[in-house]
Amino acid sequence: MSGPRPELHLVIPGAMGQRTGGYRYDGHVVEELTARGWQVTVHELTGVFPGPDPSAESSLRAALEALPDETVVLIDGLAGGGLPRPVGAHAGRLRLLALVHHPLADETSLTAERASELRELEAATLAACRGVIVTSEFTARRVGEMGVPGGRIVSVPPGVERVPGRAGPPLARTPAATTILC
């Protein structure tokens, strides 16, 4: 008889079904860990992210308060990066990890003041986490610049989704000049 299944709670901003690269990455985390025998529970937060936003902060606080001590929690950076208070409040009793797709302050079209605010908020959130998972070596360097020691950062780049193969034109046929090969 095998032991209990490892368990992970994934906290995300909004509904998992959103079709962006970050949500697809999070979805693959759920699929792959589940396939490896993990029990994964997804917590879809409400509110405006990255915050600070009272509704988002309340939603994150409630999700973390509901979990028993020593629970492993992976918080998507968009969900927790702008909300260091609830993350810090539970850092001593939960095993908190952050998942940073890219630093919040690196988002385009931010004012210098907003970028500075997000950098400070995210640095405080990451400081409260036991570890940080990033999606690239570039992001690892940027997270390190926020004061996270390199030994607490792990880079897990996205993979490539397999798609069914397609047959090309018969060999005897020459593609037309307008055919685009990708």
CB 62 within 8 A of CB 79: no
Q: What is the pLDDT of residues 124-180, one digit of tens each?
A: 999 999 999 999 999 999 999 999 999 999 999 987 777 777 776 666 556 665 666
Residue among 140, 12, 141 at smallest CA distance from 77: 12
| Whole-prediction pTM | 0.86
CA atoms within 13 A on the CB side of 73: 29
Residue 45 per-residue DSSP state: E
**Structural Rg of the chain based on CA atoms:** 20
